[in-house]
Structure 1
Amino acid sequence: MDILPQSRILKTFTDRGADTFEGAQNRLGNVRLLILVGPDTLRTAAGQACLLGAVTAAVRTYTRVAVSLEQDALLLRPAGSDCSIAGAIRSAGATIAKKGDHDCTHGISVGVAPPDDGQFWVSCYWNRWTAGLRAPWDHEPPGESWNPLAGAFAGALAVRQTFEHVLGGFRTAGRSFSVDMWNIHSGQAGGAGPEIVYLPKNLLLVGLGHLGQGFLWNLMQLPGTGDTLALQDYQRAGMENLGTGVLTRGSDLGRRKTRVALQLPELLGWQVAMLDMPFDEGMHHLRETVSVVVSGLDSVLPRQWIREAGYQYMLDIGVGHGAVDFEIGQLRVLPAGAVSSWTEADKPKNVEALRDSKAYADQKAKDQCGAYELAQASVAVPFVGLVMGALAVTQLLRLGAMEPTPALLQIELGEPEMATAGELISGPKVNIGTREINLRLRAADIR
């Protein structure tokens, strides 16, 4: 079986010396993930975002993913040509389980109590802007369900918990916690958060890898749109992107990443501009019209160039690249003229040390060039992009609401309730050009 589509996921095993590439692939292939969904939850904005986020991350991580539906429901937000939940599940690559068939090794429950079958289960929880997970013995029904970002956050974290269990980690798997997404910098859970949000109407998104696509996926869950969305990336989708890019499918191989990403926002009503180029030093295109530039890049240097370009606000999404820090994320909010908070340039990867390990020696015997490329690649998993995307969209909405935002927010997905934040920067003194969205009313209207 070709390892390339899952290669960046498999590196979470190989780069810590836990397995060979084939061994890691077999471990993931042995997972049978079942997602149970309550019928009432299925008709809510948070419930659908939770389910679809979990499915989207899971089918890229595991080969056998099934969803148990008591009945189908119409999608609240369009997703390609699909109009129903069942259609979206099948299009994503999961199957619909037969009624009463709970055969699995791992399970995620969405709005329903998990069975007591001795397998690894985790329950998703949300209430307004609070989101998190519950251990199977501590199941708690979801609360107010009009916020899709809370559902998406919980669904992606649930996949993360199953993955940690497969990876052999029991430090954080199988426990209960909650995060106040709107006030995550406060370190407290249970805040109400607003029902009315303000979305900046003109955005530039630079970088359409797993972080950029995770941000875009979450942005498209909001029941409203802005005006113009500019997408900038110079790369084409490759096999290695199939396992990590939540908008990338097999039919997208070889296509520009901008074209892969434009389909959903265009369908939902955004005017999309495509910029098939890297962000180079001295660039400042769209600076007069774009209020916020969002970056989801690996390298520090182009991020510095974006900061220097002088956009009103820069929202930067970053994560670790190795097998230990791949799920440590950072969000930076940088107003025009801000001093960089990046402390150092990119550290060179010790490719030779990796290539000497058993996992890479085995690959080198089969394909020497391929082994070198694998060693150079970063570790990446789809659920990290979705979790960070949900938090980044939340910070974007705080800017739109003229609320203070943390200059730097750091989160470790194994313990998200322990997120730390630096100093708060003042919110915009004048409106940066936003559109009002009433999450509660729009959710009710769509239903």
Structure 2
Amino acid sequence: MNNTNQMVNHVDADTINRAVKMAIDTGEVPSVEAGYELFRSYRLAVVAGPELGTSAAHQAALLTIVNTGRRALLGGVEVAGGLDVPLRVPFVGADRLDQAVRLLGGRIGAVVPPDVPTLTLGAVAGETTPGSPSLAVTFDGWRGGAIPTSEHRRLGERDAVIPAAVLAGAIGVSEVFQHLRGNPMAGRRPVGLSLWSPDRLDWEGVRDGPASIVLPSRLWLIGLGHLGQAYLWTLGLLPYESPGDVELVLQDFDRLTLANDSTSLLTNPGLVGRRKTRAMAEWAEARGFRTSLVERTFPGGIKVAGDEPRLALGGVDNAQARAAYEDAGFDCVVEAGLGAGPTEYLALRLHTFPASTTARDKWGGARANPTKPVPETTAYTDLAASGMDACGLVRLATRTVGAPFVGATAAALVVSEVLRQLNGGPATEVIDMTLCDVGSRATVLATRTPNRFNPGYTR
């Protein structure tokens, strides 16, 4: 993988790292170069216990940590522990854990660097880095989160469903990132939730869901950027016995840019310029899934027909497209939206349809966003002085701030919503939350369920 932890030579809306952009938009750095320099000071260490040799969930959590961490913490992710073991989760391009970590951009070392925020996975003996936040990434069943290692406790870490491990890894990275960004509580509190009962705040002790589950086999993914690729990442880690049973329709109209590498979990610089549909189909087919492509905007006149998948996972970022979700004729839509801007980027909201209100009622009255004014910060002034024209400045200003661990958290919730409905669990209509304070989330249980919801399932 090419090294993206350096300042790109040409800065514009298609190259800017979406995490670095928050420091530029807030005015805390005087230039884009200074923003990259700040984020290169952000680092993360991971200490892996012996469970990594035998546990698919521990490996899924580690790979999620590395994949999200290297994109937001430009100083890199360093992993210490016994990683020279076979992979217990599916991974395109590798059959050993150390190979997968390196392919994702992680570094493997013998010891933890001093004074670096640390995440532990499994039974780790001894102290980690005194004076730095240290969190145990932990999970059990459908529950996942992170607990300060100073509390000397973890969940049972037995029979965890893969989305719970993805969730735990993403929350761990989120806590480190928020600590580095100045949140005084981050890294010093237990944070987590139950994917079986997301409405319950007592996530560590809540009644759990089944360990043996069926998995979805036929899905339509709308949008293949930050959210869509997080959905694919999570689906790809699921333990399908026969991945050839899985049929995916992949819909997007855009091409990958370098900026996508900072948020989208299946993008790397070598894919820049390729159509999102084709790059993601190549990955999905290497995973063993079957794919069909739709290369147009949504809805674009789309109507589900014949035996096409009738379960959609929505990951688009404009209200006009979201309003049309139910117009296409899907039996069920599970979708998420992410917060934008340097203060709202940790927010996310999940919706399922059909619901007590329609997607058209929710978003149908929205108009295209007005042109966003260019922030009056030193960094933007510096860009103008260096030759960026007014159009380029506006395009840059309109690009959203984003962090990949937020998309991974949303994906764990979205995929788990599908898994709950397939396995007899409760359905939710809305989950509204922020990683700044997971315990403050609001959850609305579903009052309607699809009459003909049978999206296809397999083991």
**Is 1:179 matched up with 2:201?**
no
CA spacing shift, 1:287–1:41, aligned 2, 3 Å: same
2:39 equivalent among 28, 44, 58: 28
Secondary structure in 2 aligned to 1:302?
Answer: helix
Secondary structure in 2 aligned to 1:205?
Answer: strand
Deviation at residue 351 of structure 1 after TM alignment: 2.8
Q: Distance in 1 between matches of 2:426 and 2:112?
A: 48
Q: Distance in 2 between matches of 1:237 and 1:353?
A: 24
1:384 equivalent among 403, 406, 419: 406
Indicate conservation of the 8 Å contact 1:39/1:70, yes or no: yes
1:360 equivalent among 380, 383, 392: 380
Deviation at residue 168 of structure 1 after TM alignment: 1.5
Match of 1:89 in 2: 101
Secondary structure in 1 aligned to 2:408?
Answer: helix
Counterpart code for 1:109:
T
Deviation at residue 434 of structure 1 after TM alignment: 2.9
Deviation at residue 412 of structure 1 after TM alignment: 0.8
| Cα deviation 1:173-225 (Å, max 9, x = unaligned) | 32113311111023342321111323332110010111111111011111014
Q: Distance in 1 between matches of 2:209 and 2:403?
A: 29
**Is 1:257 matched up with 2:276?**
yes
Match of 1:303 in 2: 322
Indicate conservation of the 8 Å contact 2:26/2:377, yes or no: no
**Is 1:399 matched up with 2:412?**
no
Indicate conservation of the 8 Å contact 1:310/1:337, yes or no: no
Indicate conservation of the 8 Å contact 2:69/2:77, yes or no: yes
Indicate conservation of the 8 Å contact 1:60/1:244, yes or no: yes
Match of 2:143 in 1: 130
Match of 1:13 in 2: 23
Q: Distance in 2 between matches of 1:403 and 1:138?
A: 32
| Structure 2 unmatched ranges of 5 or more | 1-6
Indicate conservation of the 8 Å contact 1:404/1:425, yes or no: no
| Structure 1 unmatched ranges of 5 or more | 438-447
Identity score, percent: 26
Deviation at residue 228 of structure 1 after TM alignment: 1.1
CA spacing shift, 1:70–1:198, aligned 2, 3 Å: closer
Indicate conservation of the 8 Å contact 2:60/2:165, yes or no: yes
Indicate conservation of the 8 Å contact 2:374/2:393, yes or no: no
Q: Distance in 2 between matches of 1:430 and 1:198?
A: 18
Match of 1:440 in 2: none
Deviation at residue 71 of structure 1 after TM alignment: 4.2
Deviation at residue 268 of structure 1 after TM alignment: 2.8
Match of 2:292 in 1: 273
Q: Distance in 2 between matches of 1:240 and 1:11?
A: 10
Q: Distance in 1 between matches of 2:83 and 2:415?
A: 31
**Is 1:51 matched up with 2:62?**
yes
Q: Distance in 2 between matches of 1:74 and 1:142?
A: 24
Match of 1:442 in 2: none
1:274-293 matched pairs, under 5 angstroms: 274-286=293-305, 288-293=307-312
| Cα deviation 1:242-280 (Å, max 9, x = unaligned) | 111110011101111112212332123221111111113
Secondary structure in 2 aligned to 1:194?
Answer: coil
CA spacing shift, 1:306–1:429, aligned 2, 3 Å: closer
**Is 1:235 matched up with 2:223?**
no
Secondary structure in 2 aligned to 1:197?
Answer: coil
Match of 2:78 in 1: 66
Deviation at residue 160 of structure 1 after TM alignment: 1.0
Counterpart code for 2:264:
G
Indicate conservation of the 8 Å contact 2:118/2:133, yes or no: yes
Indicate conservation of the 8 Å contact 1:44/1:146, yes or no: no
Match of 2:265 in 1: 246
Q: Distance in 2 between matches of 1:282 and 1:231?
A: 16
1:148-163 matched pairs, under 5 angstroms: 148-163=162-177
Deviation at residue 353 of structure 1 after TM alignment: 4.4
Q: CA RMSD in A?
A: 2.3
Deviation at residue 361 of structure 1 after TM alignment: 1.2
Q: Distance in 1 between matches of 2:306 and 2:16?
A: 37
Higher strand share: 1
1:167-206 matched pairs, under 5 angstroms: 167-189=181-203, 190-206=206-222
Deviation at residue 336 of structure 1 after TM alignment: 8.5
Q: Distance in 2 between matches of 1:13 and 1:299?
A: 24
Deviation at residue 338 of structure 1 after TM alignment: 5.3
1:218 equivalent among 230, 234, 243: 234
Q: Distance in 2 between matches of 1:311 and 1:242?
A: 30
Once the two structures are overlaid, the 10-residue window that deviates more, 224-233 or 15-24, is 15-24
CA spacing shift, 1:321–1:434, aligned 2, 3 Å: same
CA spacing shift, 1:17–1:287, aligned 2, 3 Å: farther
Once the two structures are overlaid, the 10-residue window that deviates more, 421-430 or 250-259, is 421-430
Once the two structures are overlaid, the 10-residue window that deviates more, 119-128 or 183-192, is 183-192
TM (norm. structure 1) is 0.91
Counterpart code for 2:366:
A
Q: Distance in 2 between matches of 1:360 and 1:348?
A: 21
Counterpart code for 1:52:
L
The count of residues paired between Structure 1 and Structure 2 equals 435
Deviation at residue 366 of structure 1 after TM alignment: 2.0
CA spacing shift, 1:251–1:281, aligned 2, 3 Å: closer
Counterpart code for 1:128:
G
Counterpart code for 2:162:
P
TM (norm. structure 2) is 0.88
Deviation at residue 83 of structure 1 after TM alignment: 0.6
Deviation at residue 132 of structure 1 after TM alignment: 0.9
Counterpart code for 1:89:
V
Match of 2:366 in 1: 345
| Cα deviation 1:297-322 (Å, max 9, x = unaligned) | 11010111222222101111101121
Indicate conservation of the 8 Å contact 1:187/1:420, yes or no: no
Match of 2:440 in 1: 418
